[in-house]
């Protein structure tokens, strides 16, 4: 038995032993009081199902919430091959994700690259164990696509920094313990006047206000900083050197939010919905026009899935991402928007519900999912910005001279 296969046996046995019975077999919902199926952890977590807490603690202790991070920072220390095996075994057991975390997806990788040893030792283990929940302080009301136009001031007061300003689209800032935040430390330059800093959301002077979205949910906040004092050791990297870190983190963000196609795989499968709501004639979806568009979409989805897999394989072989990865976010956003629109269309008037008795839960979810998906081409860099990036960095086209 190869090392990897012997690891598979160990992993399977461990999961069998440690995955709480109530979480087995998938479909777990309402694990926390936020009513969703994710385990976000953090100091403020309220556990409606204590098994979810147990599962996080067990996985966190193994470091398997961040399987490839070095063990000295609390990670699993696994090879890429072992990590894939672990993922496969967790999937087989239909185990819920032990920790959903911007700390793992986005912050951790850049800390590993840019932070001081002290900072790594302070923050990474708590991320792995889900003790600290992080949010992202990037966008500002006047700085969306033009992120580097941000204006939140961070002034060096000698023994501390003083922070004033406002952020927007801070995901779950109202639940987060700490924030990783872009601030302006030099007003005389644009990109070179930005720093990357971490701080505790319970610091005095921070206020969060959830933003209600068109889908009815409030996953984002406006976040205000008024004379917030933070220790200077929380600056990551160099003073005024934050833009490089910011860009790297955005790469991780785009990879993470799009490589799964914004969850395009889940939910009511389109052809099934069309069969149920439109009907079947001679074995085909009765509306030939809709059937054609569903087929075209499913083909796009398969092409996308094959592309994500191909790019991963190429990246592995070449020890670095292909330039083509920059198309993934754009393609994923479009795909998920098309999927959710087609699902609503397939359901007819039953897809047009907001709430109430007249609609089944999956019908309401279809509409809200469509509305939510409109953000896919905005969040983490708009599709327009993605296309600019492809045309400039990949295709070598220039700006007006």
Partner 1 sequence: MAVLTEEQTMLRDAAKAWAQEKSPVTQFRKLRDSGNADGFDRAVWKEMAEMGWAGIVIPEEYGGTGLGTLTLGIVLEETGRTLTASPLLSTALIAAGAIALGGTDAQKQEWLPRIAEGSVVAAFAVDEGPHHHPGTLAMTKALSGTKRFVADGGAADLVVVATADGLFLVRGDAKGLTRQVLHSVDSRGFANLTFDNVEGEALSAPLDAVLDRARAGLAAEMLGTATQAFEITLDYLKTRTQFGQLIGTFQALQHRAAKMYTELELTRSCVEAALAAIDKGANDVPQLASLAKAKASELLHLVSNEMVQMHGGIGMTDAHDAGLYLKRARVAEALYGGASFHRDRYAGLMGY
The entry of its own copies, partner 1, none that residue 69 binds, CB within 5 to 8 Å by partner kind: none
Compute the radius of gyration of the chain from its Cα atoms: 22
The gap from C-alpha 79 to its chain's centroid, in whole angstroms, comes to 23
Report the residue from 88, 292, 302, 349 that binds its own copies according to the rule CB under 8 A: 292
Question: Of 253, 345, 363, 379, which residue is the catalytic one?
Answer: 253
**DSSP assignments along 90-121, one per residue:** HHHTTPPPS---HIIIIIHHHHHHHS-HHHHH
Q: If binding is defined by CB under 8 A, does position 145 make contact with its own copies?
A: no
DSSP conformation class of 189: -
Binding positions for partner 1, 220-279, rule CB under 8 A: 271, 274-275, 277-278
Give the span between the Cα atoms of 132 and 235, in whole angstroms.
18
Near partner 1 by CB under 8 A: residue from 72, 232, 238, 310:
310
The torsion angle over the Cα atoms of residues 333, 334, 335 and 337, rounded to 10 degrees, is 90
Residues 317-336 contacting partner 1, CB under 8 A: 317, 324, 327, 330-331
- Considering the complex, state which of residue 117 and residue 289 has its C-beta at the smaller distance from its own copies: 289
Is 113 a residue of the active site?
Answer: no
If one asks whether residue 375 binds partner 1 (CB under 8 A), the answer comes out as yes
Which of 27, 159, 357, 361 forms a contact with partner 1 (CB under 8 A)?
357
Work out whether 138 is an interface residue with partner 1 (CB under 8 A): no
Residues that bind partner 1 (rule: CB under 8 A) add up to a total of: 89
Which of 17, 289, 319, 361 touches its own copies by CB under 8 A? 289
Q: Which does 398 bind (CB under 5 to 8 A by kind): its own copies, partner 1, none?
A: partner 1
Produce one character per residue of 367-394: b if its CB has 16 or more CB atoms within 10 Å, e if not. Answer: bbbbbbbbbbbebbbbbebbeebbeeee
Instruction: Answer yes or no whether residue 151 interacts with partner 1 by CB under 8 A.
Output: no
- Among 158, 361, 400, 401, which residue sits at the site for its own copies (rule: CB under 8 A)? 400
C-alpha neighbours within 13 Å on the C-beta side of residue 69: 30
Strand-pair category, 160-171 with 194-200: unpaired
- Please list the active-site residues: 253
């Amino acid at each position: 038995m190869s090392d990897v296969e012997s690891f598979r046996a160990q992993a399977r046995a461990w999961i069998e032993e440690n995955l709480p019975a109530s979480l087995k077999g998938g479909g777990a919902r309402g694990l926390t009081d936020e009513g969703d199926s994710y385990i976000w952890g953090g100091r403020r977590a309220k556990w409606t199902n204590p098994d979810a807490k147990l599962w996080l603690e067990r996985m966190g202790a193994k470091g398997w919430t961040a399987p490839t991070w070095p063990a000295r920072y609390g990670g699993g220390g696994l090879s890429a091959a072992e990590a894939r095996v672990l993922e496969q075994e967790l999937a087989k057991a239909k185990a819920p994700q032990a920790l959903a975390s911007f700390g793992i997806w986005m912050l951790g990788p850049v800390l590993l690259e840019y932070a001081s040893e002290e900072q790594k030792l302070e923050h990474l283990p708590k991320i792995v164990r889900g003790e600290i929940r992080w949010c992202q302080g990037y966008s500002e009301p006047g700085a969306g696509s033009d992120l580097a136009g941000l204006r939140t001031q961070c002034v060096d007061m000698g023994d501390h920094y003083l922070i004033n300003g406002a952020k927007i689209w801070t995901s779950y800032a109202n639940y987060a313990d700490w924030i990783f935040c872009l601030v302006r430390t030099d007003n005389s330059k644009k990109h070179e006047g930005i720093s990357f800093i971490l701080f505790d959301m319970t610091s005095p002077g921070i206020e969060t206000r959830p933003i209600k979205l068109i889908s009815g949910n409030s996953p984002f906040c406006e976040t205000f900083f008024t004379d917030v004092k933070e220790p200077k050791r929380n600056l990551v990297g160099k003073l005024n050197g934050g833009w490089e870190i910011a860009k790297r983190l955005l790469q991780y963000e785009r990879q993470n939010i799009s490589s799964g196609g914004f969850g395009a795989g889940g939910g009511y499968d389109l052809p099934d919905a069309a069969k149920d709501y439109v009907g079947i004639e001679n074995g085909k979806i009765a509306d030939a026009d809709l059937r054609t568009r569903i087929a075209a979409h499913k083909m796009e989805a398969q092409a996308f899935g094959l592309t994500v897999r191909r790019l991963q394989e190429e990246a592995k072989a070449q020890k670095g991402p292909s330039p083509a990865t920059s198309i993934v976010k754009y393609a994923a956003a479009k795909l998920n928007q098309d999927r959710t629109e087609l699902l609503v269309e397939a359901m007819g008037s039953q897809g047009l519900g907001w709430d109430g008795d007249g609609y089944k839960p999956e019908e309401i979810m279809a509409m809200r999912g469509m509305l939510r998906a409109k953000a896919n081409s905005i969040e983490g860099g708009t599709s327009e910005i993605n296309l600019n990036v492809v045309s400039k960095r990949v295709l070598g086209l220039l700006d007006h001279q």
